[in-house]
Structures are given as structure tokens and as C-alpha cells.
């Protein structure tokens, strides 16, 4: 059984990660003092966990990627359109994680493990899109770079509207999938 000290360390680390996501989404240039204040831990505790802002950004990016991977586990048993629609549905509730990655990617990508995890995630998405093309669910004449970018931008639009509370999650999922397949589909209603 973990000691109380170990439990406190885990709790403070979770608080720091959540505070960093929230703070950096509002202000990507926020400093460590702002993170410490938002997390409710002292600066000494924050620096005990992360010796620099760069180390914190990379740790948060890695945490975000791991959470996204975990959320997407059910997709790996699916194919084509079903998998892509499920991806929209599963990613929208963790929009803050993905938005963090988009906003602070230039800092996070310096870490080789973060870069490697992001590359794997990109390859997985590309594979799903190629599979949907092979199944005749996505226009085979569209280049993969277009499809992945269009998917990301559609997802981003849904997240943005969710963050502004202009759509419900259910509507955002439905509109994202409909928009993606209307723009990239084969024209055949499935």
C-alpha cells in the first residue's frame, strides 16, 4: 500500500498537470508561479516535480497523449467509417488535452518520447483513413495529407464550439462526422 507521502506526491502531480492544462490554454506564456498558484501547491513543490517550464510542458504533453491513446482504445477493434465516427465521439470529451497539444506543440515536440508518441498517433489516424478509402467510404482521389488535415480541422472546429458552449457534445460529434464524410466521402450515403 502506498504511503501517505507517496499519495500526496501523486495528488500534487495530478493537480499540477490539470492546472498547467487549464492555465496554458488561457495563457500559453504563463509562468511557473501561475501554475503553482492554480494548482494549489507551493513553488518549491512545483519545482520538485518539474525543474523548468519546458519540463512541465513536455510532461503535460506526454500525459495528454497517453490519455488520448487510452480513450481511443475501443477504436482499434473497428474499421472504416465506424472507427472514424467513434474517434470523433471519443476525442471530443478530452478536447482540452488535444487543444493543449496544438497550442504548445512547438515546446512539447522537443522531447523525443513526446514526438514519438505523436508520430504513432498520426500514423494510427492515417491508417484508419486509408482503410476507409479502401472500403470505399472516403474518396480515394483525396491525398492522405488532405484527409488527416481535414479531420484535424473538423475536430478542432467541434472542440472550439464546445469550449464556447455553442454546441452540445452530441451535436458536435454528429456535425463533425457529417461534415467530414460530406466533404471527404464518396458521395454514397452509408
**pLDDT at res. 149:** 92
Res 5: pLDDT: 63
Q: To the nearest whole percent, how much of the chain has pLDDT over 70?
A: 95
Q: What is the pTM of this model?
A: 0.80
SS3 sequence of 81-130: HHHHHHHHHHHHHHHHHHHHHHHHHHHHCCCHHHHHHHHHHHHHHHHHHH
Segment 15-29 mean pLDDT: 91
Q: In this model, does residue 169 exceed pLDDT 50?
A: yes
pLDDT tens profile 59-109: 999 998 999 999 999 998 898 899 999 999 999 888 888 788 888 888 888
Q: Which helix (H) or strand (E) holds 180?
A: helix 169-184
Residues paired with 138 in a beta bridge: 185
For residue 168, the model assigns a pLDDT of: 92
Average pLDDT along the chain: 88
185, β-bridge pairs: 138
Q: Which pLDDT does position 190 carry in this prediction?
A: 40
Task: State yes or no: pLDDT of 43 exceeds 70.
Answer: yes
Answer yes or no: are the C-beta atoms of 33 and 57 closer than 8 Å. no
Q: CA distances (Å), 42 to each of 38, 47, 156, in order?
A: 10, 9, 34
Please state the rounded mean pLDDT for residues 107-116: 85
> In the structure grid, which three cell numbers stand for residue 184, read together?
471527404
Residue 160 has pLDDT above 90, yes or no: no
**84 half-sphere exposure, CB direction, 13 A CA radius:** 29
Predicted confidence band at 127 (pLDDT cuts at 50, 70, 90)? Answer: very high
What is the rounded average pLDDT of the residues 146-163? 90
Contact by Cβ (8 Å): 49, 76: no
DSSP string, 40-78: T--HHHHHHH-SSHHHHHHHHHHHHHHHHHHHTGGGGG-
User: In DSSP terms, which residues pair with 53 in a beta bridge?
Assistant: none
pLDDT of residue 97: 84
The answer, yes or no, to whether residue 173 has pLDDT greater than 70, is: yes
As a whole number of angstroms, the distance between CA 57 and CA 54 comes to 5
Amino acid at each position: 500500500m502506498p504511503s501517505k507521502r507517496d499519495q500526496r506526491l501523486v495528488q500534487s502531480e495530478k493537480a499540477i498537470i490539470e492546472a498547467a492544462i487549464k492555465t496554458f490554454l488561457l495563457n500559453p506564456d504563463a509562468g511557473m508561479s501561475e501554475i503553482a498558484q492554480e494548482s494549489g501547491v507551493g513553488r518549491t513543490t512545483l519545482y520538485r516535480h518539474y525543474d523548468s517550464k519546458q519540463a512541465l510542458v513536455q510532461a503535460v504533453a506526454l500525459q495528454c497523449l497517453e490519455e488520448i491513446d487510452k480513450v481511443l482504445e475501443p477504436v482499434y477493434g473497428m474499421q472504416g467509417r465506424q472507427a472514424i465516427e467513434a474517434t470523433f465521439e471519443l476525442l471530443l470529451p478530452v478536447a482540452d488535452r488535444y487543444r493543449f497539444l496544438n497550442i504548445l506543440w512547438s515546446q512539447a515536440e522537443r522531447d523525443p518520447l513526446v514526438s514519438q508518441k505523436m508520430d504513432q498517433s498520426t500514423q494510427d489516424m492515417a491508417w484508419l483513413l486509408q482503410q476507409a478509402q479502401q472500403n470505399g467510404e472516403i474518396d480515394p482521389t483525396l491525398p492522405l495529407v488532405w484527409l488527416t488535415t481535414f479531420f484535424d480541422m473538423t475536430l478542432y472546429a467541434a472542440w472550439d464550439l464546445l469550449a464556447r458552449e455553442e454546441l452540445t457534445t452530441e451535436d458536435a460529434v454528429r456535425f463533425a462526422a457529417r461534415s467530414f464524410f460530406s466533404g471527404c466521402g464518396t458521395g454514397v450515403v452509408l
